Each structure stands twice: as structure tokens, then as C-alpha cells.
């Protein structure tokens, strides 16, 4: 309690008010604190334009106006009416905090029915004090403020159940619930607006409101951090998609020569370091040029896709299938040359017997050339050319 009193006194002195001065007014202090909080949030809104921040600003400004409005006037009836209107504005401010929490996830729908519900309440708080004086709206006002603050606390507490754990939302919920308890205490144990107990409750509210402002600042920065993380994830996903487009042949789904240039150096280095066997299979589609010339490019594309699907299905995931160009494919496989020759012959036989091959034009087959990569190889292109030449030997033998 001593620290709370010290903080309140410091705030009062910064506003040019001292507790010994007759001008000392807890309502003015709370109004001044609400204006400062709204100003800080407004600066934050210029940097982070989110709708829920605007509703926070509106709620604090309504509270500030209500605090400054409730003061003595020359006419007693005007003083009582001003107090009733101030109570209603504070209720509106608390309800605005409820809308602010709703606006964090989606744009809130403010219906006309809400205004119709609030209209009789506004009329009562404006006119009842004139006839029945301030006590007519004192306890009911604080009860409604407590209810609205409790709703705002619950709404902000719901934000903790989302995909992001907003610690700031939890701080706001606790402080708004504390304000609800203060208003309930005033309604239950205080009978007059100008009672000393009301002033003590307002002084504690100043400190609670400052803590609520810190929670709002924290929640805003947490929201910004979450959005940055989400944007980074989208960028990483887009970069992965772009990379796949760059290294993948769009027609067949195989890797392209650009990707071969990227991986061959790494594979040769691993080949030298671990002395694992490495071989190349150069594959060409028989009669492809004749099919393109006689049956058209659509049929040729269908043949390419069919062959690529077959190769990808029958090659291990650890090996690579590249579309080398036109109707030529290159396979980088971890095995010896003898094993590569057996794998090539097996691919030829499997493709010839595949049910899907029956739907292709007559004469479509595979010609394969194999070569093993020596351990100290630094440039694979001569070996690719050698495998290409062996493929042509295989093609002539097949004819």
C-alpha cells in the first residue's frame, strides 16, 4: 500500500497537484492518467495500425472524459446530471474494452440493437440524478461498471486460448478484473460519490490503470512479433516453393540440369571421402523424334511424363533422376558399374513389360548407357558424355 501511495503522489506532483492542496482530486488524477495512456496508445497506433488499439484509445478517452466531467458546478442539478453522465461514459469505456478484445481476432460487428439497449440506460443516468440526486446512479453505476470491466477481463482472457500465448492479454485481464473488484467494493461499502473511501478507491485505480497500460503495450508488441514470425514462415515457404520451381522440370517433375550442377560437386566430394561407388545412367527414349513428328507434341509430352513417372517410381529415393534435355534422362546412382548395368537392363525390361507402356505409341522403349565415376573425379561432364556414347551403342544394338 505504501508503494501504491508513493506512485499516486508522484503522479499528482507531475500534474501540479499536492495532497495538501484543495485542488487535489482523485478523479482528475485518474482522468489525467487515462489521457496519458490514450496518448501513448495513439503513438503506438501510428506505428502499429490495428483496430483493437483504436478501441483501447476510445475506452481510455471515455474514462478520461467521465472523470473530468464529474466535478462541482454552480447549479446543483447540473452537478448531479454531470455525475450521472460521467457514470454512463465510464460504463461505455469499459464496454469499449470488451469490443477491443473482440477486434483483435476479427472486425467486430456493432449492431444498432446495442445502441437501443444503451439508450434507456443513458436516459436514466442523465435524468435520474436531477430528480433523485447522485445516489440514484452511484451504486447502480459502479455495479454496471464492474460488470462491464468483468466482461472486458473475460474477453481479454479468452485471447490466451489462441495460437499465440499473449502475456499482455493476461496482464490486461487481471487489471480489468481488479478494477471490477474496486467498483464492486465502492458500490457495496460506499454511499456517496464524494466520500473519502471513493477517493481511496480511485487512487488505487490510477495505479491499476497504469499497469493495464503496460499490458496493452506488451500485447501490441507480442502481436507484432507473432505477425513477423508468421510472415517469416510464409517467406520461407515461398522460398522453398520458388527453389522447387527453379530446380524441377515443370513437364516431368524430375530435377533439371541446374540442380545437377548444384549437387554433383557435393556428391563427388562425398564419393571421394567415404569411397562409396557412384555411377551414371544415361537414358534415351526410342523413337521419340518420330513420335513428335508424326503424332504431335502433345503425344510426345505424354510419353515424357510417362517415362519420368516410371523412372521416379523405380529409382531409390537416395538417387537422383534428372531430365537432361529433350527425351534424355540422367540418373546419378550409388553403385558400381556392373550393378548400374544390371539396373539399366532391369529398367528396360520393366518398362517394356509395364501395363502403362501398352498405352504408348508402338516402338517406345528405353536405351541406357552406364559408367562408373572414378574416386578422384572432379569434373563429371566427360563421364556424362561417355555414358551418352554408351547409350547410343545400346540403342544401335537394340535396333
CA–CA separation, 261 vs 263, rounded Å?
Answer: 6
Note the pLDDT of residue 11: 44
The C-alpha atoms of residue 384 and residue 399 are separated, in whole angstroms, by 23
Q: For residue 398, what pLDDT is reported?
A: 65
Q: How far apart are CA 389 and CA 14, in angstroms?
A: 90
Q: What is the pLDDT of residue 10?
A: 52
> pLDDT tens digits, residue range 160-217?
887 777 899 999 999 999 999 999 999 999 988 888 898 999 999 999 999 999 999 9
What length does the chain have? 399
H-assigned helices in the chain: 2-14, 26-47, 51-69, 76-105, 112-132, 135-158, 167-189, 196-247, 257-274, 288-295, 297-314, 337-353, 381-398
Compute the C-alpha angle 36/37/41, nearest 5°: 115
**What Rg value do the Cα atoms of the chain yield, rounded?**
39
Q: Residues in the chain with pLDDT < 50?
A: 1-5, 7-8, 11-12, 14-23
Q: Which of 180, 117, 113, 121 is nearest to 146 (CA)?
A: 180
DSSP H or E stretch at residue 277? none
pLDDT the model gives residue 21 = 42
Superfamily of domain 257-398: Reverse transcriptase/Diguanylate cyclase domain (3.30.70.270)
pLDDT tens figures, 27-86: 999 999 999 999 999 999 998 899 999 999 999 999 999 999 998 899 988 999 999 999
What is the predicted pLDDT for the residue at 161? 83
Sorted by where each begins, the domain ranges of the chain are 2-234, 257-398
CB 38 within 8 A of CB 65: no
Task: Check residue 319 and give its pLDDT.
Answer: 92
Amino acid at each position: 500500500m505504501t508503494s501504491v501511495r508513493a506512485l499516486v503522489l508522484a503522479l499528482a506532483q507531475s500534474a501540479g497537484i499536492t495532497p495538501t492542496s484543495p485542488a487535489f482530486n482523485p478523479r482528475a488524477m485518474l482522468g489525467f492518467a487515462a489521457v496519458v495512456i490514450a496518448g501513448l496508445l495513439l503513438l503506438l497506433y501510428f506505428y502499429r495500425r490495428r483496430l483493437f488499439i483504436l478501441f483501447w484509445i476510445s475506452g481510455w478517452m471515455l474514462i478520461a472524459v467521465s472523470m473530468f466531467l464529474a466535478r462541482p458546478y454552480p447549479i446543483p442539478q447540473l452537478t448531479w446530471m454531470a455525475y450521472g453522465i460521467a457514470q454512463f461514459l465510464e460504463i461505455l469505456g469499459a464496454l469499449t474494452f470488451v469490443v477491443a478484445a473482440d477486434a483483435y481476432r476479427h472486425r467486430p460487428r456493432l449492431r444498432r440493437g446495442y445502441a437501443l439497449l444503451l439508450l434507456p440506460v443513458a436516459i436514466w443516468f442523465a435524468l435520474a440524478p436531477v430528480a433523485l440526486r447522485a445516489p440514484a446512479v452511484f451504486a447502480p453505476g459502479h455495479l454496471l461498471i464492474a460488470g462491464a470491466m468483468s466482461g472486458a477481463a473475460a474477453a481479454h482472457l479468452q485471447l490466451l486460448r489462441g495460437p499465440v500465448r499473449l502475456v499482455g492479454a493476461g496482464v490486461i485481464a487481471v487489471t480489468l478484473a481488479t478494477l471490477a473488484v474496486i467498483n464492486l467494493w465502492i458500490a457495496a461499502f460506499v454511499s456517496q460519490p464524494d466520500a473519502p473511501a471513493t477517493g481511496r478507491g480511485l487512487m488505487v485505480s490510477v495505479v491499476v490503470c497504469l499497469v493495464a497500460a503496460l499490458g496493452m503495450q506488451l500485447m501490441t508488441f507480442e502481436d507484432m512479433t507473432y505477425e513477423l514470425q508468421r510472415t517469416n514462415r510464409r517467406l520461407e515457404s515461398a522460398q522453398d516453393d520458388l527453389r522447387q520451381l527453379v530446380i524441377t522440370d515443370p513437364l516431368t517433375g524430375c530435377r533439371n540440369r541446374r540442380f545437377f550442377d548444384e549437387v554433383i560437386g557435393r556428391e563427388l566430394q562425398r564419393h571421394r571421402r567415404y569411397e562409396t561407388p557412384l555411377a551414371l545412367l544415361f537414358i534415351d527414349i526410342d523413337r521419340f523424334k518420330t513420335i513428335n513428328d508424326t503424332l504431335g507434341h502433345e503425344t510426345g509430352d505424354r510419353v515424357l511424363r510417362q517415362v519420368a513417372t516410371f523412372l521416379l517410381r523405380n529409382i531409390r529415393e537416395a538417387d537422383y533422376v534428372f531430365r537432361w534435355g529433350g527425351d534424355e534422362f540422367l540418373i546419378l546412382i550409388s553403385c558400381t558399374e556392373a550393378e548400374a548395368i544390371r539396373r539399366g537392363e532391369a529398367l528396360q525390361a520393366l518398362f517394356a513389360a509395364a501395363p502403362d507402356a501398352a498405352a504408348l505409341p508402338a516402338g517406345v522403349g528405353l536405351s541406357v548407357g552406364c559408367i562408373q565415376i572414378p574416386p578422384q573425379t572432379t569434373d563429371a561432364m566427360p563421364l556424362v558424355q561417355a555414358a551418352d556414347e554408351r547409350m547410343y551403342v545400346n540403342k544401335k544394338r537394340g535396333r
